[in-house]
Structure 1
Amino acid sequence: MSERLFTRLTKENGIAILTIDNPPLNVLSERVGLEIRDCVTEVEHDDEVVVLILTGAGRAFIAGADIKEFPTKMARGEAKKMALEHFHTYNRLDFLPKPTIAALNGVTLGGGLELAMACDIRIAGEGVKLGLPEIKLGLFPGAGGTQRLPRLVGEGRAKELMFMGDPITATEAWQIGLVNKVVPDDEVLERAQEMAKVLATRTLTALSRIKKAVDKGLEMDLTGGVLYEAELLDEVFQTEDIVEGCNAFFEKREPIFKHR
């Protein structure tokens, strides 16, 4: 696409950092969504990148969708188009064959939480508020929120959060399994980078298959999931990196993976 106005993508040592920068609160406009999708596509096709971190500039991760765009979505079919555009963006992130970490540095509401839930891991600052407040506008989360949230926290808690629309604290989010870690606000990106540095030493041949096994396995019964897992395991045993991993173990050294 043309020049990115509201996102920045940096890459170093196998780690890409995507920063949403649409001040003051990084609202998720259609343009921002398209730029995020473009960045994710670039990361997917960059063989040097192993892990992607998403974060926000300033005092918000993403404070929700751009409500100023809503009046143009009142005609039948327009809201569906908008929702599916954002959902397509989230799916590109969800199905990215590389680990993703959401570094939640501030307000994470509505579409921002939907985006964060499409990531594999969420690290939140202790002062972060998270929620899906759409009900207070007479709406509901329509870009995957009603589907991803119950898969993360269970049906009852998900319905309560969406019915009430009130934000919860980072600690509450951790207690129900919505975020993986809660850290000091000024250490969010640093902690995400620490985790990413470890992941960048792993091989994508295994990381990508772990992601596929978990994500697709959740859509199957246990037997089907185990059989699918076995197919992926057979695939990974045909890679160069399994040979390197075993050789490194026998030679008592750290492996040097080539992601093939």
Structure 2
Amino acid sequence: MSVVEVEVAGGIATITLNRPDKRNAMNPEMVVRLADAWTRVREDADIRVAVLTGAGAETFSAGGDLRSLITLLTRSRGPEDEWDERLLADQRGVMNTAMLRTTEYPKPIVAAVNGLCFAGGMELALAADLRVAGEHVRFALSEVQRGLIPGGGSVARLPRMVPAAIAKELLMLGEPVSAQRAHEVGLV
């Protein structure tokens, strides 16, 4: 099984983040494979819409894998495999593609949020055109609690989606909010 599963049927690409044992945290392999998946969706004329979800019932994505992805991106460690090498060869391009950091994606994307949606996972969900979430889901841009800033585009996206005061609260506190609260403020 791949860390990013892509299934296409009836014009719908279902992209599944598949590291449930690691809370679907994004490691270098997942980032590269996710970038490849978005490129496939963009270029395949038979795909009309994409649905992004996470494997397992507990977590959509906990964000970046602090041990493998963040240490590589901050150069705290060197590359150890082909996925690290591919990411570092075009870090900006791969990360921008993987995290959908563009305003002109040609096909609709739906984030089917099925569990914990924190940090980079929330940033990826925010990049989708539509977000649907189960009642048990919690959302957080929790990077600030680790002395980081959201690097997936949410600093720019979030204030365009919700009132400025709500965006500031989510970005500066990093506290989880319920799916109900996310719905009330317009995130889902």
Structure 2 counterpart of 1:50, from 40, 48, 51: 48
Distance in structure 2 (CA, Å) of the matches to 1:14 and 1:166 = 37
Structure 1 counterpart of 2:118, from 87, 109, 113: 109
- 1:131 is aligned with what amino acid? A
- Tell me whether 1:22 sits opposite 2:19 in the alignment: yes
Tell me if structure 2 keeps the 8 A contact 1:17–1:55: yes
Distance in structure 1 (CA, Å) of the matches to 2:31 and 2:41 = 15
Deviation at 1:26, TM superposition (A): 0.3
2:61 aligns with 62
- 1:104 is aligned with what amino acid? V
> Structure 1 residues 75 and 156, CA, compared in 2 at 3 Å: closer, same or farther?
same
Structure 1 counterpart of 2:176, from 167, 170, 175: 167
> Structure 1 residues 98 and 71, CA, compared in 2 at 3 Å: closer, same or farther?
closer
Deviation at 1:166, TM superposition (A): 0.5
- 2:20 is aligned with what amino acid? P
Structure 2 counterpart of 1:154, from 157, 160, 163: 163
Deviation at 1:29, TM superposition (A): 1.5
- Tell me whether 1:120 sits opposite 2:129 in the alignment: yes
1:248 aligns with none
1:12 aligns with 9
Deviation at 1:90, TM superposition (A): 2.1
Give the secondary-structure state (helix, strand or coil) at the position aligned to 1:91: coil
Distance in structure 1 (CA, Å) of the matches to 2:13 and 2:94 = 23
For structure 2, the residue ranges without an aligned partner over 5 or more in a row are: 79-89
Distance in structure 2 (CA, Å) of the matches to 1:39 and 1:113 = 18
The alignment's TM-score, normalised by the length of structure 2, stands at 0.83
Identity of aligned residues (%): 36
Distance in structure 1 (CA, Å) of the matches to 2:46 and 2:94 = 28
CA-atom RMSD in angstroms: 2.2
Q: Of Structure 1 and Structure 2, which has the larger fraction of its residues in helix?
A: 1
> Structure 1 residues 129 and 83, CA, compared in 2 at 3 Å: closer, same or farther?
farther
> Structure 1 residues 47 and 63, CA, compared in 2 at 3 Å: closer, same or farther?
same
The alignment of Structure 1 onto Structure 2 pairs a total of residues equal to 173
Give the secondary-structure state (helix, strand or coil) at the position aligned to 1:27: coil
Deviation at 1:62, TM superposition (A): 0.6
1:38 aligns with 36
The alignment's TM-score, normalised by the length of structure 1, stands at 0.61
- 1:142 is aligned with what amino acid? G
Distance in structure 2 (CA, Å) of the matches to 1:26 and 1:94 = 25
Deviation at 1:139, TM superposition (A): 1.2
Deviation at 1:155, TM superposition (A): 1.9
Residues 186-233 of structure 1: CA deviation (Å, up to 9, x unaligned):
xxxxxxxxxxxxxxxxxxxxxxxxxxxxxxxxxxxxxxxxxxxxxxxx
Distance in structure 2 (CA, Å) of the matches to 1:99 and 1:155 = 25
Distance in structure 2 (CA, Å) of the matches to 1:47 and 1:153 = 33
Moved more, 129-138 or 154-163: 154-163
Q: Of Structure 1 and Structure 2, which has the larger fraction of its residues in strand?
A: 2
Distance in structure 1 (CA, Å) of the matches to 2:103 and 2:64 = 19
Give the secondary-structure state (helix, strand or coil) at the position aligned to 1:16: strand
> Structure 1 residues 30 and 166, CA, compared in 2 at 3 Å: closer, same or farther?
same
Deviation at 1:54, TM superposition (A): 0.4
- 2:59 is aligned with what amino acid? A
